[in-house]
Structure 1
């Protein structure tokens, strides 16, 4: 669920929406006079009173404890009632704000996060037809830890999970590219792994609505639907579907053979592969009969609203008194029918009505035993090293579910749960938990080195001046993850847009109007240090370690307007960090105007920097026209852009591979220029290099083009 009340002005954490600013209606402080009056009125409305669910401790230590289906049932029932109370209290608060303050509200509109109105190469395997010398692989965060994606390649074949099938395309030599094998999949293909002659494919399957027919089923575990890769305005909660894992034997590429099927009632959150061990994180939100959050009729006075909403809570609680939740435990069917989970852990802070499972299997052995750990907790951002998997679950203090003894002064924290993983299935087990201030942006906000987790977090939301950032280093002490060192109050009034760790160094980009690039010394876990910072317009959403002294980044330009800034075209940059006390911007290139987008802006798997050729391939939609703060109105390109990148000359466009959408004739869909800034509209999603050939991959076709003559297609294959 997208949250667009994170820009120039929002009245509160429970804002009714961002309010437009009329420059001529300002007082001496620069704040519009009616806005100030409206803010004062909203502040006068009492916030929902904290309540602790009966049976829950008001203060607890973060961690996971053993549970069973009866304990889980009681916890989920209490959490469901608490969620109902919170929803009704929030609705009451908004009603009171409307009754008391609506006459003071003027203007309308949304403000974007920038404050403006509107919304390396791997050796290829040998094969009978010859092979390329160098081939690009998946842009994994951690070397040796493969990440699932919808496209994989082995230097000869390209494998995609798209449409309704696993497609196997013989891609080398490029001139004779053709689909040689295909296997129909249940549901909608999502991602896959390929190792040797094995492929593991994930697909989502719609669930049947099992809620009582008299009431509509509603998810109560919290979070948004759909894939979440960047995390700025989405939650790592899955899409609510079930997941099928299909294991194929690819010994004969022309006839992939299904050898194992696993069906989980939970949805895919993340997956990592270490050797032959695949570790999958699955999330499931429970459902409960829906309840009313607004009384019948429209209360005319505040006193009437108070009585009506309190009566509504009592009625809802009566309806939920006999609620049974344990039949909603996630299940796994390995071929003998759906079986409930057996290894269940419970968060010490009741955390919504949701489950998260870490499932481990051997991709090379279709009969090997499975290993899983399930937690009664919402999912969160997932990071994995070669031996540990971490999940960071965000919390905001609301008084309904209790709070953390180890974070008494914070109103926004993340529970961090650590699981042991590795190249063997049986290694997977829960290890420890801890609490850190703030919330993470995505997986790149976390990194493990020498058994310490470095984690960067943001507290608060723009445009609050109290928003700030924290870098913490956690060490394991028994079952606890404890803060060894920390830097707090980084970039007050700004939030994190990207993070990258590299050995003993760390880099963080924050933003409100400019892009401060911070460099950190993390060599002493007990004493992290900010070494230097660089302020420039715009912000980076992804930082790639180009070499030990340089960062290659993608992000957005920004136009400064004093109190805010409009985000603008796509920006490529190279930073020199050889002297971390004085990082420097050495090259940049701007692409298009406001509304231009790239899949690589919010998904690092689309960013392809191919070291053997010094080339950078990016899916891109270019929009032109518009003005300061206005979207470009004309889409002039959609496809793949390839740049030559060097430290001496910076960025030089080598050429483009067009992917016009066939449904729009010979042009592009201009409507794609108006997407929200974290939602790319590029038809191309990925790219692959094989020597001098670059393959551009969409969800419906693959094109092959020579780097010397990019405008001319060498071959094209449909993968619908």
Structure 2
């Protein structure tokens, strides 16, 4: 007998697969478990006794012979040209900001600017660069010993305060799988007013999910699992007995095992420890008890006060965060279903999807029937969980901790935060639903009431046999791209929440992996060109005319053969400056890497040139981000920051970061 268990690394690889993996019995697809979708309500625990009994029993039902199922859910805009505010320096140049989903809601990134300074963090070191002199004026090492290199970190900045979000684990794996090892997350508050210095360090239990900042107030979402030590694994103990032993351990665990902990160190080195109170933890009607989401609140203008991070928790999973000025949404994508299969022999067969060129999930072996001497009974068909997404909404319109509003469920899986959009009292949600056997898929947009998250309308049938590659909601209109061999760009009329509808469809080769609003009636797409059979050929930038919702058309296409861009999966890497139509995307191809500089106007996309950095390889020289500051383009790579003239692209300065 051989036990087949998929690892977290396998799960990360499956994140890019077009269909979900299932196992079959005698060639028959397993039947999905029926589920009741619609509004669900969170219920707060009355106290620690209530919390403990509920979490113990729910978690015991999820325990396996190896402990908890530790595989986390698989886990990405308008570029606002900032105006000079009344209290800003009169000499502050116009500048771009981080490319974010919602205007006025900042998102963490590796570099920030206020026009006078560029602040970035790399390898555990924060640096401040003066934009006038183009020199590093301050630096601060945030890690000890040799732990800096490779530590991923992002920034949020308000005035003279920066919050550095540090997490363990490789950044690429983090972005694919949506989690980092527990205990490796730190939030460091830094004073930037003079020589940068640490004001406080916050270590929450669990892994960093994401954060949003409105004004100077940051809401941070972390995920934690109960701290329970299971008995040592022994080969001579049956799986059934191991499950019983593990369940017994769970049912005896104290409430403290679940309560998320937090440790705050102030500037003097004094340490304060706390945990989320039982009555500040809520749960949905159906939950596993194996994961808790915690929302922390920090006002950068005030720093960490006596209230600490004022945390509240929810007994749920979550891997996608979307925020508006008054709402914070945390969505829990369905887990990839990975049954434990006992088989002899256990063989995984790799496969590819000919139409898309992507790696397809490996096929599970068919389980053997248990030996029965007299009257063999067929093995029962495995029951797989429904593919559905939970969405939780919190009100962040007031200072202090957010308040829970409602929760809801929709069928299918989200692509990223752009699959969510709040507008006119409703939340629009775009998902792809894959059949249990992985052979069929279809996408839909659901409209939910924002105050209850009850469903009011839906439009389905998008991209039969395909999956969503990009989504963008702009006011009452939605745009959705699905892909397998050709790229249907759908336009959606969402004005009537009870009756959303498809108004137009454009089929072209390739796909757009990111959609960005351009000038009036224009939509920009960043993605890949593909052959008629679906084989990707290289980066393409498309300009669509969407002024007529019934007849979207492509006005212009710029194609770079055998190339790729991180802007396809990381919108923060895309720069668009509406004032001049300037756009920059990172580009990696066989012969060179750098920043592809474009001019995008009402009629077309034009290549202006490439900005290249010095470096020994494409990783060091590859462009990660681009900023507009005054009349210059600032680009960031691993080795440094380069400044180029925005009109001529002539190099003006090189600022090393190593």
1:204 aligns with: 167
Q: Contact 1:7–1:462 at 8 Å: present in 2 too? A: no
Q: Contact 2:448–2:454 at 8 Å: present in 1 too? A: yes
1:530 correspondence with 2:530: no
Cα shift at 1:697: 0.6
* Cα deviation 1:188-231 (Å, max 9, x = unaligned): 3511111122212112258xxxxxxxxxxxxxxxxx99433xxx
Cα shift at 1:585: 0.6
- Aligned to 1:379, what secondary structure does the other structure show? coil
What is the alpha-carbon distance in structure 1 between the residues aligned to residue 168 and residue 605 of structure 2? 43
Q: Contact 1:152–1:160 at 8 Å: present in 2 too? A: yes
Cα shift at 1:412: 1.6
1:420 correspondence with 2:395: yes
2:553 aligns with: 584
1:334 correspondence with 2:272: no
Q: 1:373 aligns with which of 312, 334, 343?
A: 312
Cα shift at 1:356: 0.9
The alpha-carbon distance between structure 1 residues 84 and 661, as it changes in their structure 2 partners (threshold 3 A), is farther
TM-score normalised by the chain length of structure 1: 0.73
Q: Contact 2:583–2:598 at 8 Å: present in 1 too? A: yes
1:191 aligns with: 154
2:581 aligns with: 614
Q: Contact 1:163–1:699 at 8 Å: present in 2 too? A: no
1:315 aligns with: 242
Cα shift at 1:719: 2.2
- Aligned to 1:313, what secondary structure does the other structure show? helix
Q: Contact 2:38–2:455 at 8 Å: present in 1 too? A: no
Q: Contact 2:124–2:153 at 8 Å: present in 1 too? A: no
1:638 aligns with: 593
Cα shift at 1:85: 4.3
Q: Contact 1:238–1:284 at 8 Å: present in 2 too? A: no
- Aligned to 1:316, what secondary structure does the other structure show? helix
Structure number with greater CO (CA < 8 Å, separation at least 6) is: 2
Cα shift at 1:262: 2.0
2:642 aligns with: 703
1:162 correspondence with 2:92: no
Cα shift at 1:14: 2.9
1:436 aligns with: 410
What is the alpha-carbon distance in structure 2 between the residues aligned to residue 559 and residue 688 of structure 1? 33
Cα shift at 1:76: 4.7
Cα shift at 1:388: 0.6
1:500 aligns with: 472
1:355 correspondence with 2:292: yes
Cα shift at 1:267: 2.0
What is the alpha-carbon distance in structure 1 between the residues aligned to residue 32 and residue 68 of structure 2? 8
1:263 aligns with: 203
What is the alpha-carbon distance in structure 1 between the residues aligned to residue 486 and residue 477 of structure 2? 22
- Aligned to 2:465, what secondary structure does the other structure show? coil
What is the alpha-carbon distance in structure 2 between the residues aligned to residue 6 and residue 715 of structure 1? 38
Cα shift at 1:707: 2.6
Structure 2: runs of 5+ lacking an equivalent: 1-10, 70-79, 266-270, 340-383
Cα shift at 1:410: 9.2
**Deviating more after overlay: 372-381 vs 519-528:** 372-381
1:651 aligns with: 605
Structure 1: runs of 5+ lacking an equivalent: 16-38, 91-119, 207-223, 229-233, 297-307, 401-408, 623-634, 670-680
TM-score normalised by the chain length of structure 2: 0.79
1:137 correspondence with 2:97: yes
1:2 correspondence with 2:12: yes
What is the alpha-carbon distance in structure 2 between the residues aligned to residue 691 and residue 654 of structure 1? 18
What is the alpha-carbon distance in structure 1 between the residues aligned to residue 88 and residue 336 of structure 2? 58
Q: Contact 1:124–1:135 at 8 Å: present in 2 too? A: no
The alpha-carbon distance between structure 1 residues 440 and 523, as it changes in their structure 2 partners (threshold 3 A), is same
- Aligned to 2:104, what secondary structure does the other structure show? coil
Cα shift at 1:80: 4.7
What is the alpha-carbon distance in structure 2 between the residues aligned to residue 279 and residue 475 of structure 1? 23
1:51-450 to structure 2, matched below 5 A, reads 62-67=40-45, 68-85=47-64, 120-124=80-84, 130-132=91-93, 134-172=94-132, 176-186=133-143, 188=151, 190-204=153-167, 226-228=173-175, 234-252=176-194, 255-286=195-226, 288-289=228-229, 311-323=238-250, 324=253, 326-335=256-265, 336-342=271-277, 343-351=280-288, 353-368=290-305, 369=307, 370-395=309-334, 411-422=386-397, 424-426=398-400, 428-450=402-424
What is the alpha-carbon distance in structure 1 between the residues aligned to residue 489 and residue 496 of structure 2? 21
1:601 aligns with: 568
Q: Contact 2:37–2:410 at 8 Å: present in 1 too? A: no
The alpha-carbon distance between structure 1 residues 61 and 505, as it changes in their structure 2 partners (threshold 3 A), is closer
Q: Contact 1:280–1:359 at 8 Å: present in 2 too? A: yes
Cα shift at 1:184: 1.6
2:73 aligns with: none
1:715 aligns with: 653
The alpha-carbon distance between structure 1 residues 13 and 682, as it changes in their structure 2 partners (threshold 3 A), is farther
Cα shift at 1:540: 0.8
What is the alpha-carbon distance in structure 2 between the residues aligned to residue 65 and residue 397 of structure 1? 27
The alpha-carbon distance between structure 1 residues 59 and 412, as it changes in their structure 2 partners (threshold 3 A), is closer
2:357 aligns with: none
What is the alpha-carbon distance in structure 2 between the residues aligned to residue 703 and residue 603 of structure 1? 21
* Cα deviation 1:48-106 (Å, max 9, x = unaligned): 998x9xxxx9999733211355555445544554444498999xxxxxxxxxxxxxxxx
- Aligned to 1:371, what secondary structure does the other structure show? coil
What is the alpha-carbon distance in structure 1 between the residues aligned to residue 519 and residue 471 of structure 2? 16
2:461 aligns with: 489
The alpha-carbon distance between structure 1 residues 388 and 509, as it changes in their structure 2 partners (threshold 3 A), is same
* Cα deviation 1:291-324 (Å, max 9, x = unaligned): 899977xxxxxxxxxxx9xx42233322542232
Across the aligned residues of Structure 1 and Structure 2, the Cα RMSD in angstroms comes to: 3.5
Cα shift at 1:609: 0.6
